[in-house]
Structure 1
């Protein structure tokens, strides 16, 4: 996976430093996606990135927690950019039903466009208790998958555009439905994701209607 260097350059890094960090993050994403979080050692990442020594990883990220923070931030930013591209940057957060549909359809489309990122998110969530990992991993993954959407649903209820339900329960149900599509797609890559996305979105737009 290619990792953009624009953001890192904005942090005051040189072009060379930004490129090296992006190379290491991309290699880490690939290793986690292929081998799983627990097997994503600095040695494996060094090998995937084509580095001469694991010290180059430590130089740029200090420790595993710092690296995983950057990996998660990159995946989150990739998904946000994907949403902007699919909606032409015109998605209005005030359009709660439209936001809900876009969230579901984009999350499912993301499965095909960035399968490595999806697997990395799953692995990070499953290993959030790693003492050497980034302490904020669970908080951010949960917010991305459930709590952020729950806030949108709650706000929509306050505005009268959504019906009566428990926002956290509905948001979790949506997340689990998307997870189910991910599992089905992993078992059968020929799955018609556009159809699944449309029908899952239709179901939850109806379920949340006033």
Structure 2
């Protein structure tokens, strides 16, 4: 089971964005096609509103509710949360739900470390496989923040890796085919126990910083066969 969490906004009480929802449909279709033989179900989550809204963490709450509803509908199945931007933060935060076995965060929006604020939590992700993907030229969400989070998480959970998409920006459009192939490989491997592609397996096994700054090679996925 895959739940995709769209982009959101830092602060807003407006309804969920139809454009952000639609932006996740191509990846949802790619995952559904790749996992059809295994009966993989994919759904894009519709938020109640588009804002994270500080301590309310509304998008994370919506993600947790979506996981619970998926369990009610599909039964005891493993869930992978796939989030983009603010949805990436929601996926990481909601990854502690008992049904979640893996998290994929694409260009996750993370707050700057404030001395007076609590750091972004990571303990909830113990026992989950986690992949973070970030463009090195992201102009909206600092890729260094996702590296720092991955570094903290790796100390408590060895099944963590992070790929850098060199020269790509927040939308990850320049290397969309490679990002999609990487996402498919990770999700199917995490949910169905298959072997990961060699770069993913190497990144998971490598100590920091190597496994957290793994470059996503041009053409990734062209020669993969499942």
Higher-RCO chain (CA-CA 8 Å, sequence separation at least 6): 1
TM-score, scaled to structure 1 = 0.34
TM-score, scaled to structure 2 = 0.32
Q: Give 1 or 2 for the bigger CA radius of gyration.
A: 1
